[in-house]
């Protein structure tokens, strides 16, 4: 059977294969959720990044579920002031590295990921009292657990710079 260059390249890195096996065993709950969301958004642009499956979706926030990353199609939506410092491509790349860090958290926390990482992240992002606190005290969304840890892990495992700690 003939494989395309992309299919052959996908299996050339043993680290990517180990990553996928670990996500589909230890990270099974979140990877199943990620697969379901990925299938729902199957018509969006999709590609691979260090073994993770990336979908660029039409939402203003990004999300990681196991080995599935859902990257906003509008990286500057919450960070208009960053346009003077970054190109949209560079800022989106930093966001991708951050979201990849969440996939490493999935490997660290396994079946507890949704509670230990997902829940705090969603609450920190969406609770009105916390949004108000971040705005009034000019606290970056990326400056606390689990976001700060995701930045560090993403940088460590990709060798690239993450989004840092911009303030919206």
pLDDT tens sequence across 103-150: 999 999 999 999 999 999 999 999 999 999 999 999 999 999 999 999
pLDDT given at position 10: 47
CA–CA separation, 10 and 7 (whole Å): 5
What tokens does 55 get?
């979908």
pLDDT given at position 122: 94
pLDDT given at position 33: 97
pLDDT given at position 35: 98
pLDDT tens sequence across 146-168: 999 999 999 999 999 998 887 66
Question: What are the extents of the domains in the chain?
Answer: 5-158
Contact present, 92 and 166 (Cβ < 8 Å): no
Contact present, 101 and 150 (Cβ < 8 Å): yes
Taking 90 as the threshold, does the pLDDT of residue 8 lie above it? no
Give the helix ranges, DSSP H, for 26-146: 28-40, 88-109, 113, 119-126, 128-137
Taking 60 as the threshold, does the pLDDT of residue 3 lie above it? no
pLDDT tens sequence across 36-74: 999 999 999 999 999 999 999 999 999 999 999 999 999
pTM of the model: 0.89
Model confidence band, residue 30 (pLDDT cutoffs 50, 70, 90): very high
> Which three-class secondary structure state does DSSP give residue 55?
strand
């Amino acid at each position: 059977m003939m494989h395309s260059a992309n299919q052959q390249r996908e299996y050339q890195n043993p680290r990517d294969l180990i990553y996928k096996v670990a996500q589909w065993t230890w990270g099974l709950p979140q990877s199943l959720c990620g697969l379901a969301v990925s299938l729902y958004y199957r018509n969006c642009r999709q590609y691979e990044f260090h073994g993770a499956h990336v979908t660029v979706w039409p939402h203003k926030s990004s999300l990681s579920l196991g080995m599935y990353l859902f990257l906003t199609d509008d990286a500057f939506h919450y960070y208009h002031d960053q346009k003077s410092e970054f190109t949209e491509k560079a800022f989106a790349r930093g966001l991708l590295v951050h979201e990849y860090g969440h996939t490493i958290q999935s490997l660290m926390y396994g079946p507890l990921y949704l509670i230990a990482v997902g829940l705090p992240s969603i609450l920190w992002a969406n609770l009105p009292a916390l949004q108000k606190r971040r705005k009034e005290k000019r606290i970056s969304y990326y400056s606390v657990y689990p976001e700060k840890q995701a930045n560090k892990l993403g940088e460590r495992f990709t060798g690239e710079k993450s989004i840092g700690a911009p303030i919206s």
